[in-house]
Amino acid sequence: MKHARTRIRRAIRAAACKAVYGATAFPSERVWVRPETLTHFCGPSVRIRKYGRIRGGSWDIGGPRFDESWRAQCCRLHWLDGQSWAEAGVYDHMAAGIAKTKDGAMDGCRTHDDDVKRYQQLDALFEAASAHGLPSRATSVAGRMIEHDGITVHMARDGRLLVGWGGNHRLAIAQCLGLELVPAGLGLVHARAARQLRFRRSEAARTSGWYIA
C-alpha cells in the first residue's frame, strides 16, 4: 500500500511539473557528466526525499567547493600524493564524524575496522576505474535509467550540475583519474532550468557538458 501511494504521489507530481514547467524530473535519473565540471556542492537544504522534484528558491546558491571538502582532499593526498589513508587524515575524520552522529555511524562505518575495510574497497574501486572507468549502477524503472547509490548531482538554475551529498568518493576517484565521463543520479532540478531537461535527453546534448541517458 505504501509503495502504491508513493507511485501515485509521484505520478501527480510529474503531471503537475509537466503542466507548469513543460518538463518532468525523475528521482535519480541517470546522467553522464564530465567530472571536472562538478566544482561546487548544492546548498545544505537539499534532502533525499526531494529528489526528482522541480523546485525554485536559493538552494543552488552558495554551496562550498567540492575540492575543499575533507573527502576530496584526503583522496588527492592518498591517490595523487601517495600518502596512506591514515597519513591523509581519513581515520581521524571518520572517528570525529562517528562520535557526532546520533546512531554512531558514518558512511556505513561504526568502528575503525569498518573504516579500514571501507577504504580498502575504495582502493579496489580506484584500481578498477583506472582500467575500465566508473561503472554505471543504473537499473531500468518505468522506462528510465535510474542510477542508485552513486554520484549524486543537482541541476542549478543556469543548467550547471552541482555536487550532492552522495558518491563523493566516486567523484574524487573520477577527478583524480581524469576520467572523461561518469554516471550520476539526478536529484533536484531548479525551476528556472526545468525546460532544459528535454534538451538534456536529446542526442544533441551529448556534445555538451552533460546529458541524460
pLDDT, one tens digit per residue, over 123-163 is 999 999 999 999 999 999 988 999 988 999 999 999 999 99
Instruction: Show Cβ contacts of residue 137 under 8 Å, excluding neighbours closer than 6 positions.
Output: 147, 148, 149, 150, 183
52 confidence band (pLDDT: 50, 70, 90): confident
Q: Please determine, for residue 206, whether its predicted confidence score (pLDDT) is greater than 90.
A: yes
Nearest residue to 196 via CA among 161, 159, 147, 150: 159
The pLDDT of residue 43: 76
The pLDDT of residue 3: 55
Distances (CA, A) of 47 to 42, 59, 65, 73, 213: 10, 11, 19, 24, 23
Residue 16 has a CB neighbour count (10 Å cut-off) of 12
Domain ranges in the chain are 2-212
The pLDDT of residue 9: 55
The pLDDT of residue 165: 85
The whole-model pTM stands at: 0.88
**Mean pLDDT over all residues of the chain?**
90
Burial of 103 (C-beta count, 10 Å sphere; 0-12/13-18/19+): exposed
The pLDDT of residue 65: 97
33 within 8 A of 130, measured Cβ to Cβ:
no
Q: What digits encode the pLDDT tens for the residues 7-43?
A: 555 555 555 555 555 568 899 999 999 999 999 999 7
Q: Which helix (H) or strand (E) holds 130?
A: helix 112-132
| CA distance linking residue 55 with residue 47, whole number of Å | 12
The pLDDT of residue 44: 73
Q: What digits encode the pLDDT tens for the residues 156-201?
A: 999 999 999 889 999 999 999 999 999 999 999 999 999 999 999 9
Could you tell me the three cell numbers for 128?
Answer: 578498477
Q: What digits encode the pLDDT tens for the residues 55-107?
A: 999 999 999 999 999 999 999 999 999 999 999 999 999 999 999 999 999 99
The pLDDT of residue 24: 80
The pLDDT of residue 20: 53
Pairing of strands 54-55, 210-212: unpaired
1 confidence band (pLDDT: 50, 70, 90): low
**532540478: which residue's cell?**
189
Q: In the chain, count H helices and then E strands.
A: 7, 8
| CA distance linking residue 133 with residue 174, whole number of Å | 8
